[in-house]
């Protein structure tokens, strides 16, 4: 996969791209990531990327010209242009999984009061939001999107098993998974807190069962709506039925 990011703050990416998964994935050729300074696509002395909003109002709006030029320069037939915006489709694990098959992503990071609407209309194939809150710019959102997508690319993680166990993916690649079971490492006793005995038992069948039940219970308590789309076995359903009798969930906000 190739990812081109367009931003007015390209140096915000230097450190995050130099550590951990993203660094390794770039070094091993799993992904090729380039960051482009939007000001490089301006033609005035001040390298202007923003202007006052038509109709008045606070703040500045990103001009369409530099963004159209930048994407024209980078676009290929297989490219998908993503505009990051709090108004976009919610970026979830399922969307990340969908994006794994893309060959080329061009990611546009907004700033100020946002981006001239003609970018959304003509340049972007899709607008994505990383959550229902407003950031000052798209850079942090671009990093979140890249981390989530790149770790799903073949060869990015040491073991593809960890992907299957992850929260929201555990039940398979179609999304709609459960939250992950609790994890423990050494020491077996820490400040009076013991690791659940079953994890020390060496009985793999018991461990599998315990983990599945923990994942079900966590999901039921924390994100019950996920259970509506998670693939469940008859044993899972029976376990959940028992829980329903034993656990009262807090009322959900609509
Ligand atoms: N006035 C805009 C609105 O209400 O939709 C918000 C502009 S925001 C201050 C500036 C930029 O940050 C946006 O253009 C977008 O690129 C990015 N951004 C902010 N929140 C985001 C979110 N939840 N997901 C993705 N990008 C976001």
Q: How far apart are CA 84 and CA 110, in angstroms?
A: 7
Which of the residues are catalytic?
86, 113, 151, 166
**Ligand 1 pocket, residue 86 CB under 6 Å:** yes
pLDDT for residue 162: 73
160-246 in CATH: which number? 1.10.1270.20
pLDDT(33) > 80: yes
pLDDT for residue 166: 79
User: How would you classify the pairing of strands 193-194 and 189-190?
Assistant: antiparallel
pLDDT for residue 254: 55
3-state SS, residue 200: helix
Per-residue pLDDT band for 82 (boundaries 50, 70, 90) equals: very high
pLDDT(52) > 70: yes
Query: Percentage of the chain with pLDDT > 70?
Result: 94
pLDDT(173) > 90: no
What ligand 1 atom has the least distance to the C-alpha of 132?
A: 23
Ligand 1 center to 227 CA (angstroms): 30
Beta-strand (E) ranges in 134-232? 189-190, 193-194
pLDDT(175) > 70: no
Evaluate whether 2-150 and 160-246 have a shared fold: no
**Ligand 1 pocket, residue 58 CB under 6 Å:** no
Query: Percentage of the chain with pLDDT > 90?
Result: 88
Mean pLDDT of all residues in 204-210 = 97
Q: 198 exposed, middle or buried (CB, 10 Å; 0-12, 13-18, 19+)?
A: middle
Domain 2-150 has CATH 3.40.1280.10: yes
Whether the Cβ atoms of residue 32 and residue 156 lie closer than 8 Å to each other: no
Q: Which two tokens stand for residue 17?
A: 């791209």
Q: What integer best gives the mean pLDDT of the chain?
A: 94
What ligand 1 atom has the least distance to the C-alpha of 136?
A: 9
Domain ranges of the chain: 2-150, 160-246
> Which of 114-118, 134-138, 142-146, 162-166 is least confident?
162-166
Q: How far apart are CA 63 and CA 106, in angstroms?
A: 18
Mean pLDDT of all residues in 74-95 = 98
Longest dimension (CA), the chain: 70
Mean pLDDT of all residues in 102-110 = 98
- Ramachandran class of 16: left when φ > 0, alpha when ψ lies in -120 to 50, beta otherwise: alpha
pLDDT(90) > 70: yes
Using the structure block, give the residue that is written with the tokens 């179609």.
Answer: 174
pLDDT for residue 176: 47
Instruction: Express the helix, strand and coil content of the chain in percent, nearest 5 each.
Output: 40, 15, 45
């Amino acid at each position: 996969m190739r990812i081109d990011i367009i931003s007015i703050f390209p140096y915000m990416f230097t450190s995050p791209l130099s550590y951990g998964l993203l660094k390794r994935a770039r070094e091993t050729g799993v992904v090729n990531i380039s960051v482009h300074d939007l000001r490089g696509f301006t033609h005035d002395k001040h390298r202007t990327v923003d202007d006052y909003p038509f109709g008045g109002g606070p703040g500045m709006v990103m001009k369409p010209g530099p963004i159209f030029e930048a994407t024209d320069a980078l676009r290929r037939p297989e490219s998908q242009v993503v505009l990051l915006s709090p108004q976009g489709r919610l970026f979830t694990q399922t969307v990340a999984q969908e994006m794994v098959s893309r060959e080329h992503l061009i990611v546009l990071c907004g700033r100020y009061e946002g981006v001239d609407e003609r970018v959304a209309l003509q340049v972007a194939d899709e607008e994505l939001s990383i959550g229902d809150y407003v950031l000052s710019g798209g850079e942090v959102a671009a990093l979140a999107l890249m981390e989530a997508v790149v770790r799903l690319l073949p060869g990015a993680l040491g073991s593809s098993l960890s992907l299957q166990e992850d929260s929201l993916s555990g039940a398979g690649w179609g999304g709609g998974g459960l939250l992950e079971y609790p994890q423990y490492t050494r020491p077996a006793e820490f400040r009076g807190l013991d690791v659940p005995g079953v994890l020390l038992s060496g009985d793999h069948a018991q461990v599998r069962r315990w983990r599945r039940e923990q994942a079900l219970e966590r999901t039921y308590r924390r994100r019950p709506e996920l259970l509506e789309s998670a693939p469940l076995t008859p044993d899972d359903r029976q376990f959940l039925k028992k829980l329903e009798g034993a656990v009262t969930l807090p009322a959900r906000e609509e």
